[in-house]
Structure 1
Amino acid sequence: MKITFTGPESSGKTSISKAIAEHFEAQWFPEHAREYLLNRDGKYEFHHIEQIALNQDMIRQAEEKRGMKIYDTENTVLYIWSTFKYQKCAESVKSLMENQRFSHYFLCSPEGIPWEEDPLRENPNQREELFDLYLAELKRQKVDFTILEGDFEARKEKAIEIIEEISLSQGGFCV
């Protein structure tokens, strides 16, 4: 089973994905963009988004193990980031997004989550606009997703409930 968390900046993706991975004792995959940008002192250009996507895909494929996997972000994040900031997206990023397969997506709403200042974050006043882009894109992709809203505990309870339902319908937590 592969579960991913997506959504705008500072909407709780990392915190909730870590908590869910710990709850289910699942393999957790951090957001690759953060490490990449920290190594570049936060500086990047259009072509770096493609490099982040390719690196992320390669690292995750190499490290995946059997069992449940929890991902802090996926390629929809890179697609929306690129199109929002540069009004274009590399074909490889689009292809990676179109071909990724997850059992379920959790779309993290910024509502109820205060903006956390971070030198790598760029859009404190556009989180709702970005959320709407994520929502439209997930609908366009026709993937299974749940919107997570409310405080951290409400989000965690909802995610656990959904994952348990999916697990039961699939006969357990195996891949």
Structure 2
Amino acid sequence: MEEKLKQISDRNTNCIKVVLYGPESTGKTSLAKALADYYETTYVEEFSRYYAELKSKQNLPLTKDDVLPIAIGQIQKENEQLKSANKLLICDTDLLETQVYSEFYYNGFCPEIVKKKALENTYDLYFLTYIDIAWEADGIRDKPNNRLQMYKRFEQILKRSKKPFITVKGSFEERLNTCKRYIDELLKKAY
């Protein structure tokens, strides 16, 4: 099982990896797409959204038994996209985010292997998206009143795990420009 949650080493690919990370409806997917377009690279879609939509179509709720398949799917997508990335891989979530949501929805539960790999997996920078944009319902999102609580939890986990992060706030353009500025610095150092 551990092998299925293992990242392809970015040292082998010489690729910068960044994660868009934070509460629901904070612009992560829009930023991921815009950054991938700007840098002419690929991005890793949020597998949990795809998985939740499939379950919803079958009128099945998500349960704690879905956490591990979601985590495996996320890493498989990441490893697949890394192969075609152009110096930079944009990730629209990671296993730390999977852990936060698992613990939130399932009373502190998250499979130990997911927590272990969430700490072991490496990224060059996290962009923690703040809650200063309007929440939008989409059929999957369900916690508009828990955004501040969730933001604090996301921030706490990044600090506790000593992951490098920058908080992005403001309009979409402000967020995009902040991300670009830090990504440009990473690319300049690497290449």
Q: Deviation at 1:163? A: 0.6
Q: Deviations over 1:77-124 (max 9, x none)?
A: 11000111112111121022111111110000011x101002111210
Match of 1:68 in 2: 88
Match of 2:136 in 1: 116
CA distance in 2, matches of 1:18, 1:5: 11
CA distance in 1, matches of 2:147, 2:117: 24
CA distance in 2, matches of 1:63, 1:164: 20
Matched, 1:104 2:125: yes
CA distance in 1, matches of 2:80, 2:31: 24
Give the one of 11, 27, 44 matched to 1:12.
27
The residue matched to 2:144 in structure 1 has which SS?
coil
The residue matched to 1:17 in structure 2 has which SS?
helix
Q: Deviations over 1:18-73 (max 9, x none)?
A: 11111111111110011111111162101101210012112322342252111111
Consecutive aligned runs of 4 or more in structure 1 exceeding 4 Å deviation: none
Match of 2:114 in 1: 93
Match of 2:9 in 1: none
CA distance in 2, matches of 1:79, 1:153: 29
Match of 1:82 in 2: 102
CA distance in 1, matches of 2:95, 2:25: 17
TM-score (norm 2): 0.85
The residue matched to 1:135 in structure 2 has which SS?
helix
Match of 2:159 in 1: 139
> What is the letter of the counterpart of residue 159 of structure 1?
C
The residue matched to 2:166 in structure 1 has which SS?
strand
Number of residue pairs matched by the alignment: 170
Identity of aligned residues (%): 31
Partners of 2:18 and 2:91 within 8 A in 1: yes
Give the one of 119, 127, 134 matched to 2:147.
127
CA distance in 1, matches of 2:100, 2:131: 16
Q: Deviations over 1:127-157 (max 9, x none)?
A: 0110000101101111111000000000001
Partners of 2:102 and 2:110 within 8 A in 1: yes
Match of 1:28 in 2: 43
CA distance in 2, matches of 1:93, 1:29: 18
Deviates more, 1:39-48 or 1:12-21: 39-48
CA distance in 2, matches of 1:104, 1:120: 27
The residue matched to 1:3 in structure 2 has which SS?
strand
Match of 1:43 in 2: 61
Gaps of 5+ in 1: none
